[in-house]
A and B are shown apart, each in its own frame.
Chain A
Amino acid sequence: MIGQLLGHYRVAAKIGEGGMGVVYRAYDEVLHRDVALKVVKKDARLDASASQNLLREARASSSLAHPNICTIHEVGETDGELYIVMELVEGKSLRTISGDMSLPAESVLRYGVQIASALGRAHDRGIVHRDLKTANIVVTADGLVKVLDFGLAKQVGIGILEGPTQSLATIQDTSSISGTLPYMAPEILRGEAADYRSDLWALGVVLYESASGRLPFEGRTGFEISSAIMRELVKPLGPSVPLGLWAIIQRCLAKDPAQRYQRASEVQAALEAVQSAFIVSKDLPADRGGPRTTVLHGLRHAKVRKGDFLLLVGTIKGAFILRSNTQRGGWEVGGPYFHGHAVYAIAYDSRAGQHRIWASTQSIWGTLLRSSDDFGKSWTNPQEAAIRFPADAGISLKNIWQITLGPEDEPNVLYCGVEPAALFETRDAGETWSLIRSLFDHPHRPRWMPGNGGLALHTVVLDPGNKQRMYVAISSGGVYRTDDGGTTWTSQNRGIRAEFMPNRYPEFGQCVHKIAMHPARPERLFLQNHWGLYRSDDHADHWVDIANGVPSDFGFPIVVHPRNPDYVYVVPVESDQFRCACDGRLRVYRTRNAGASWEPLTRGLPQKGAYETVLRDAMTTDSFDSAGIYFGTRSGQLFGSLDEGKTWQTILEGLPAIVCVRSAFVEGAASGLKPTLSPQSRTLPQTRSRATSKSRRKRKS
């Protein structure tokens, strides 16, 4: 071929080879200029009509005079060789420049603006590229981008034979598809026609690849790649990528074309906006992307030592940490943390020797999961919320209702139950969270209904003896269980009534308020329903009514004694219309026979005019030998019993409405008493006022 004349072009040297054919440098002997000449491979060509289409399309593309589009001068055919004559662009392809490395954000933005500009011009002329990829974007020595091969893909069927696309033929008829698989939009894989929005998808892939050095959807085979494109969420880019750029990429990569940018000019404008801000912000410190920590000054902290016992209290206006020793007599109060934010979920994580407090915070500014490794002196304050619904879920996080630790031997695993009802999981100690799709895609989900507190997945219970089994409770959806590690979920509501439904015993849809398991007997669960108290002895397969002798079977919390699986505590309220302690008497009810009968526990609790409400997570136990029981009320009173409920003391008054109470023993003290090993604790606080007034004094200071 070298030295030959094709038309009036003298072929000088081979400069490249692609799926479509071989590219040569050639000299235009008429216009006296260097050009690129692409000789179309015979096997890439279809029939005569396709050749005609190629000619027509190339002529249309040749009208695209734009600085970022490689101009097509001519398409010709000589001696059976079909060739395309183009502007000779000297530079490197974006793929070569990027390689497996990420490019600086500045470069990605600069190139992205030019590519979007080129697409904008083509789309305005009704021309879709159809095979945009880093391999056919060339960057010249002075940073000018040239997009190659506009409008050629469709006619020649190029690209599909390249690299990882080879097995595409095994999954789909290729006759209607053109392009390169890793850059193909989902609608193309579905066999729908490519339009200009498919180019914007490809642009998203190009930006992602340039910014990270890897493709957004990867796989070992064509089938895996197309599955990923169709179904998987794009993996987040690291903190070095500006969030503005990441947001643009995500929008380009929306599975539904209607959710993408609708015009290349919109992408261009968005990239330019990020670019102009980037120029302004270049001099700012580089670590702005990572989680931030807020160190709290001017706030009283509890001085926690090993061997201490803590109560962690979440309220609608912040969290408090109460410190005591194993005697649990006096309390030092730290807080309020997260001033003005509602804290519906708290957990203490001592797995693998850590001392981490987790808390969810909710306000008009959104919901975040935060943690502290120094008992509240500093808290993570992530720039970006780690728990978030993916774009295709179409819904946004309202609240985190539950933080549940994973198995003891998997200290990096945690679960969060959230509103709108969904379950999230982390396997890297909270760095990244993922939506549990199997539950989110459950066919029942569209028929779950919001209760008074919204549609929340508020309880997550793990089976300590079987890692494959887990229970969740949804209000209003009912109890769901997985026996296969979260692959499938079944509703487990047999025997639980739904007072508010025409069918009183539906398969699902119950408004369950709380479920509790005794770890020593994982087959046994207790359940406080929106009307109804239940027990199951067979992993929630069947439930029996155990409201034998309570003044009302309406209530929110239910807790099981830390050691005795027959002991259970509830706080009944009058009705769903009047969610206050029955008769104005604040009474905890306890069963000592797994629900065969219940007894009121009232000593030390107000018995007159006490229209109190105890919410679903506002009650807990400790694990000392003489178990402590603690609960907080919506009027901001915190009560505790150190003798399993026989007598109660006021621990703290005047808090905002309490929504969550958890206990924690800070292990690690050489001489400290471990709760489960400690002798019977006989020393009770002598007066309630001492603890209260001391605590309140501290809060004022």
Chain B
Amino acid sequence: MTFHIPGALREYADGQNKLVIEHAPATLGDALSALWLLHPGLRDRIVTEQGQLREHVNIFIGDEDVRYTGGLMSPISSGSEISIVPAISGGS
């Protein structure tokens, strides 16, 4: 399972743009928990303190926006490509 990290957040991921997690958890929420552990600085930048995805941050599993596939409960598999992408609306 692979995470794609946007440029603005790479400083919190030791400069990497791609992170591979060997043991794929069942849901996006669990995968993110694993991501926070690897790179704690990413968490507060991607989700709010209430655990919700920030308004202008999108996450895609493959080509699917997770807002339409069950949010943090979206299922993932070992081959999932997860992209974290700032929304266009966030550039105001």
| Residues of chain A having any CB pair with chain B under 8 Å | 242-245, 247-248, 251, 269-270, 272-274, 276-278, 280-281, 284, 288-289, 292, 294, 363-366, 368, 381, 383-385, 388-389, 391, 394-397
Q: Closest residue to B6 on the A side, CB-wise?
A: A365
- Report the tally of A-B residue pairs with Cβ distances under 8 A: 108
Within 8 A of A (CB), among B30-82: 30-31, 33-41, 43-46, 48-52, 54-57
* Shortest CB distance A583–B (Å): 30
Cβ A388 vs Cβ B49 within 8 A: yes
Closest to B21 in A: A277
Chain B residue with the shortest CB-CB distance to A281 = B38
Q: Assess A269 versus B44: contact at CB under 8 Å? Given A277-B21, A281-B38, A364-B86.
A: no
> B49 and A277: CB pair below 8 A?
no
A281 touches B37 (CB 8 A): yes
Indicate whether A389 sits within 8 Å of B49 (C-beta atoms), given known contacts A269-B25, A364-B57.
yes
Give the Cβ gap from B74 to chain A, nearest Cβ, in Å.
14
Q: How far is A272 from B38 in the complex, measured between Cα atoms in Å? A: 14
Question: A294-B11, A365-B9 are known contacts. Are A384 and B30 too (CB-CB below 8 A)?
Answer: no
CB distance from B91 to the nearest CB of A (A): 8
- 20 A–B contacts, CB within 8 A, in A order: A242-B36, A245-B37, A247-B36, A269-B26, A269-B27, A273-B30, A276-B21, A277-B33, A277-B38, A278-B37, A281-B37, A294-B11, A364-B54, A365-B45, A365-B57, A366-B44, A366-B48, A383-B41, A394-B50, A396-B50
Most A CB contacts (10 A, CB to CB) among B37, B43, B46, B55 go to B37
- Are A384 and B38 closer than 8 Å at their CB atoms? no
A383-B87 in contact (CB<8A): no
* A365–B8 CB distance below 8 A: yes
Q: Which residues of B contact A245 (CB under 8 A)?
A: 37
**Residue total for B at the interface (Cβ-Cβ under 8 A):** 39
Q: Is the CB of B40 within 8 A of A289?
A: yes
Closest chain B CB from A72 CB (angstroms):
31
Residues of A within 8 A of B39 (CB): 288
**Residue ID in chain A nearest B57 by CB atoms:** A364
Query: Which 9 A-B residue pairings sit nearest by Cβ, starting from the closest?
Result: A277-B34, A276-B23, A396-B48, A364-B90, A364-B56, A273-B25, A244-B37, A273-B30, A388-B49
Docked CA distance A112–B36 (Å): 18
In the complex formed, the residue of A with least CB distance to B87 is A364
Name the distance in Å between A44's Cβ and chain B's nearest Cβ. Answer: 40
Closest chain A CB from B77 CB (angstroms): 14
Residue of B nearest to A389 (CB): B49
Could you tell me if B44 and A280 are in contact, using CB atoms closer than 8 angstroms?
no
The residues of B that contact A278 with a CB separation of less than 8 Å are 37
Most buried by A among B35, B48, B56: B48
Interface centre among A277, A278, A363, A389 (most CB of B within 10 A): A277
Taking CB atoms, residues of chain B closer than 8 Å to A284 are 14, 38
Distance to closest chain A CB from B51 (angstroms): 8
**Nearest B residue to A294 by beta-carbon distance?**
B11
Compute how far the CA of A426 lies from the CA of B89 in the bound complex, rounded to whole angstroms: 34
Question: Chain B nearest CB: distance from A512 CB in Å?
Answer: 26
Q: How far is the CA of A381 from the CA of B48 in the complex (A)?
A: 17
